[in-house]
Amino acid sequence: MGANSGTPAPPEPPWLALPPDVSDRLRPLTGDLVEAIIQAVPQLVPAYARPIEGSFGRGLRMGVAAALERFLELPGTRLPALSDQSRQLVAGLGRGEFRQGRSMDSLLGAYRMGARVTFREMSRRSMDAGLGSAVVVDLGESIMAYIDELSAVSAEAYAFEQSERAGAVDRRRAELLELLLLGKADETALRQAAQLADWSVPAAIAVVTLPLERAQGLRQRLGAGAIVIERETDAVALVPDRGPASRADLHRTLTGRSAAVGPAGELGQVAESLRLAVLAASMLPPRAGDDDPPVWADEHLTEVVLAAEPSAVAELARRRLTPLGQLPENQREKLEETLLVWLQHWGQRAPIAEELGIHAQTVGYRVLQLRELFGEDLKDPQVRFELEIALRSKRRERG
């Protein structure tokens, strides 16, 4: 291995080029410079436009003074921009910005403004002291490199705090969802858990379930008002239901995701809504295509009911459809379909003919056959109800 191989050495810091005595010449400026920065920043960065007094004022003065003092330790050295102590201080500023609910833009703007004021005053003092323009150029480069390091450390701490907060919120939202799915917590406990999870409980909630591999990007698409929790094989989302408009938006968002949506309800109905969504999806052919819409459980409640007790429904079909049992298969299927549509349209011949795509006279002929086969049973509301259940079951079996 050659002598020049290996990891290249890091570049020398710009403050190495500054004469070491620059610090002694500039240090008397510190007091006035702190005040100049403190006065300039609130005027030009709106987020800090507040009285510089009390604990806020003391903390701000200490922070600015510490940053300037560290900078004045650097000229003529290879020291890193920040010591361990000053790094902790600068990181604390980043964390504080997140906790105060501000974006990093405010703090970065304050750093830039502080750098401008610092360079203006220090370059003026350097020229007055006869240090020359070359020193002023190196001084400007050093100040900018120093501010870049402050900004990077604060931004990293801000991002870490944000990530930690998001992780804590996700954990609390997962705990909230577990409480909801157990269905045993009282209303007060649920609302306290929702508050801890930083979730404003909507008046009506739609529950969504979808395969885990189809959930990518869903949290961003649904927005801040929704909760999305990823489990082992699926994802579950709680989404505010605000009527037809939000339903249309949710329909677009879930298209192509093999999703199922339970009936909208209140907080305590989440577990039941999810159960109905899962049942409805299991009753229908898979919707795995990129253009396939979600399954809306409230549009398929009959299928869910029929699937709940398949043996009971099969026995009901066997008993109620016995009069059709001796007919040829083709004729039996036509009469079963006609009877189901006749029951759905309350015997109105025109809509029956339109749905079946046959002539009204053909409807009359088939209905006459049905009356001969079933007799007075077709006048009994209970029998008619049971016939419709049995016929819907048969239709579902045929696909």
pLDDT in tens, 314-370: 888 888 899 998 899 999 999 999 999 998 888 888 989 999 999 999 999 999 999
Cα angle vertex 284, ends 282, 286, to 5°?
A: 85
pLDDT of residue 268 exceeding 90: no
Domains of the chain, earliest start first: 14-165 (1.10.490), 203-306 (3.30.70), 310-398 (1.10.10.2840)
CA gap 230, 157 in Å, rounded:
27
pLDDT of residue 12 exceeding 80: yes
* Model confidence, pTM: 0.51
Measured over all CA atoms, what is the biggest interatomic distance in the chain, rounded to whole angstroms?
118
What's the confidence (pLDDT) of residue 9?
Answer: 67
Contact 296, 325 (CB under 8 A): no
The torsion region of residue 101 among left (phi > 0), alpha (psi -120 to 50) and beta comes to: left
CA gap 356, 351 in Å, rounded:
9
pLDDT of residue 286 exceeding 70: yes
- Kindly indicate the confidence band of residue 1, based on its pLDDT and cuts at 50, 70 and 90: very low
Contacting residues for 221 by C-beta, under 8 A, at least 6 apart = 253
- The bridge status of strand 227-230 relative to strand 295-296 is unpaired
User: Which of 87-91, 178-182, 258-262 comes out lowest in average pLDDT?
Assistant: 178-182
The torsion region of residue 383 among left (phi > 0), alpha (psi -120 to 50) and beta comes to: alpha
- The bridge status of strand 260-261 relative to strand 295-296 is parallel
pLDDT of residue 307 exceeding 90: no
pLDDT of residue 5 exceeding 60: no
Q: What are the φ and ψ backbone dihedral angles of 238, each rounded to 5 degrees?
A: -105, 120
CA gap 241, 243 in Å, rounded:
6
Alpha-carbon Rg of the chain, whole angstroms? 37
342 or 225, which is more confident: 342
CA gap 336, 127 in Å, rounded:
101
User: Which of 3-12, 42-51, 235-244 comes out lowest in average pLDDT?
Assistant: 3-12
CA gap 129, 25 in Å, rounded:
8
First to last CA, the chain: 73
Percent of the chain with pLDDT over 70: 94
The pLDDT of 208-223, averaged and rounded, is 89
Which of 260, 286, 258 shows the shortest CA–CA distance to 275? 260
What DSSP string runs through 130-146? T--HHHHHHHHHHHHHH
What's the confidence (pLDDT) of residue 155?
Answer: 92
The pLDDT of 121-133, averaged and rounded, is 89
User: Which of 31-40, 51-60, 198-207 comes out lowest in average pLDDT?
Assistant: 51-60
The first and second tokens of residue 228, run together, are 């999305």
User: Which of 39-48, 152-161, 377-386 comes out lowest in average pLDDT?
Assistant: 39-48
Condensed to tens digits (0 to 9), the pLDDT of residues 182-210 reads 776 777 888 888 888 877 888 888 899 99
Q: Where are the alpha helices (DSSP H) in the chain?
A: 22-26, 30-44, 54-72, 84-99, 104-128, 133-182, 187-196, 218-222, 244-254, 270-283, 301-308, 310-320, 329-344, 349-356, 360-374, 381-398
Per the listing, tokens 């190196």 go with 138
What's the confidence (pLDDT) of residue 2?
Answer: 46
42 or 95, which is more confident: 95
